[in-house]
């Protein structure tokens, strides 16, 4: 039996030592981890999982000591130091559509997405989110939301047996013209 000295990063090595032994049947040398508490040998395959399991099952107090030490030695990472996984395409799409609904419902200009305050708000809420160019909102996302809303209105109106429509046309103080169409009907629900 030969004790192998190597620098190990896992705290489990405080309770084990790495040894090399010749197998009497094959004559080949194999690596084992030997428990310092009970001298049990565990075949070592470049992983500390079996040693963790041994400590947890046979020496639970040593195992909890090992995990407490590990937790105490863990550095605390701030969000700036931590590398985030990229945002999923689905989450990116949800945020894009939420921003577009905000712009449409509150009649905001597309340029709001380029404002420093809006960028700071988004960075705080979801640091991984990359704001697309405003052309993406005006040329891609808005037409998709428009088509979806138009389809919902058409489907609702198809179910109506009768309806009442009113129209209102006005000009704002900034000389922008607006037309409102309101339809009232009783749905099957």
Whether 70 contacts 48, CB under 8 Å? no
Band of the pLDDT at 84, cuts 50, 70, 90? low
> What is the chain's mean pLDDT, rounded?
84
DSSP 90-148: HHHHHHHHHHHHHHHHTT--GGGGGSHHHHHHHHHH-TTPPPPPHHHIIIIIHHHHHHH
Question: Which pLDDT does position 169 carry in this prediction?
Answer: 95
pTM: 0.49
Q: Give tens-digit pLDDT for 99-127.
A: 999 999 998 999 999 999 999 999 999 99
The fraction of the chain above a pLDDT of 90, given in percent, is: 41
Question: Which pLDDT does position 82 carry in this prediction?
Answer: 47
Residue 6 clears pLDDT 70, i.e. is over it: no
- Rounded mean pLDDT, 22-43: 83
Residue 189 clears pLDDT 80, i.e. is over it: no
Q: Mean pLDDT: which of 2-11, 49-58, 83-92, 108-117 is highest? A: 108-117
Band of the pLDDT at 27, cuts 50, 70, 90? confident
Residue spans per domain, the chain: 2-73, 89-185
Taking every pair of Cα atoms in the chain, the longest distance, rounded to a whole number of angstroms, is 98
Tokens representing 79? 């969000």
């Amino acid at each position: 039996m030969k004790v192998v000295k190597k620098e190990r990063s896992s705290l489990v090595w405080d309770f084990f030592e790495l040894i090399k032994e010749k197998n009497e049947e094959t004559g080949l040398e194999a690596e084992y981890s030997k428990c310092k508490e009970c001298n049990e040998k565990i075949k070592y395959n470049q992983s500390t999982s079996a040693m963790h399991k041994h400590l947890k099952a046979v020496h639970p107090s040593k195992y909890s000591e090992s995990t407490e030490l590990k937790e105490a030695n863990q550095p605390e990472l701030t969000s700036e130091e931590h590398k985030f996984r990229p945002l999923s395409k689905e989450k990116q799409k949800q945020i894009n559509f939420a921003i577009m609904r905000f712009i449409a419902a509150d009649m905001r200009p597309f340029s709001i997405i380029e404002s420093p305050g809006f960028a700071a708000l988004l960075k705080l809420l979801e640091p991984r989110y990359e704001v697309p160019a405003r052309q993406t909102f005006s040329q891609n996302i808005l037409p998709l939301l428009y088509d979806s809303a138009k389809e919902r209105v058409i489907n609702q109106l198809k179910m109506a047996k009768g309806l009442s429509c009113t129209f209102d046309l006005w000009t704002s103080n900034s000389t922008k013209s607006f037309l409102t169409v309101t339809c009232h009907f009783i749905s099957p629900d």
